[in-house]
Amino acid sequence: MNIIKLNAIDSTNSYLKKMAASGGVSDNTVVVSDEQTSGRGQMGTVWRSEPGKNLTFSLFKEIRRLQREEQFYLSMAVSLGILKGLETFDIPSLRIKWPNDILSGNAKICGILIENIFKENQMRSSVIGIGLNVNQLDFEDLLNASSMKRITGIHYNRDEVMQRIIKGINEMEQLVENRELGLLKSEYESMLFRREKPSTFKKPDGALIMGFIEGVDTGGKLVIRLEDEVRQRFDLKEITLLY
């Protein structure tokens, strides 16, 4: 594993993508920074993190067994791999809030941004950005945010946490390499936050709907059973799960 440590950078994903474009990156290359000045999340959101207390890093993976329409399976593997790593620290009540936020109870402790690289319709590689709240205690106005230390009271060695997270991702990525996609999907769905519980969702126009999360389809859309027993599929731009 090649680890590149930086004091500060705009975005570890952007830095690693530039490295990959130059052709000088090998599988499992990691870029980690104490501070990200322009950390990015899903849908253009900003990932805010107190410098020196958390983990902000990006992992380069060579992925050769997925087609473009199967790319959400990598997101499943990464989410489950992070859970696998966090379980070794006895973080309680871990769940995945669709599509790939990591929660402990109702509190978000980790966000993921995956940027895939394709040649024609075949995935070639991926830059996996991870922001994990480790030792930060104060989250000001960030409702539903927490950290490993805030949850357990334990101060963590960030390098050790990163190594276990990467180990977990590599273990789960083997399901992708072995094309065990059905097993991967089943494990992911079993860890979904609020699965089969009555939940409220908000649409872009502000309208609220009630339903039950059943799982995801192969493209990563959320499958919701509505009150009239009709099942609908929604992508990330179409619906938001409220806490």
Domain shared by 185 and 202, yes or no: no
Give residue 118's pLDDT: 95
Q: Which two tokens stand for residue 231?
A: 């099942």
Give residue 29's pLDDT: 97
Domain shared by 105 and 164, yes or no: yes
**With contact defined as beta carbons under 8 Å apart, do 111 and 29 qualify?**
no
How many other C-beta atoms are found inside a 10 Å radius of the C-beta of residue 91?
19
Q: Which two tokens stand for residue 62?
A: 């060579």
Domain shared by 118 and 175, yes or no: yes
| Dist. CA 209–CA 227, nearest whole Å | 9
Domain shared by 66 and 89, yes or no: yes
Give the pLDDT band (50/70/90) at residue 143: confident
Domain shared by 58 and 106, yes or no: yes
**With contact defined as beta carbons under 8 Å apart, do 100 and 192 qualify?**
no
**With contact defined as beta carbons under 8 Å apart, do 223 and 233 qualify?**
yes
The DSSP bridge pattern shows strands 107-119 and 122-132 to be antiparallel
The mean pLDDT of the chain is 93
Buried-exposed string 10-36: b where 16+ CB fall within 10 A, e elsewhere: ebbbbbbbebbeeeebeeebbbbbbbb
Give residue 53's pLDDT: 94
Which structural domain, as residue segments, surrounds residue 215?
198-241
pLDDT cut 70: percent of the chain above it: 95
Give the pLDDT band (50/70/90) at residue 41: low
Domain shared by 179 and 231, yes or no: no
Domain shared by 158 and 101, yes or no: yes
Give residue 229's pLDDT: 87
Average pLDDT over residues 59-86: 97
Count of domains observed in the chain: 2
Give residue 40's pLDDT: 55
Give the pLDDT band (50/70/90) at residue 42: low
Whether residue 72 is predicted with pLDDT greater than 70 in this model: the reply is yes
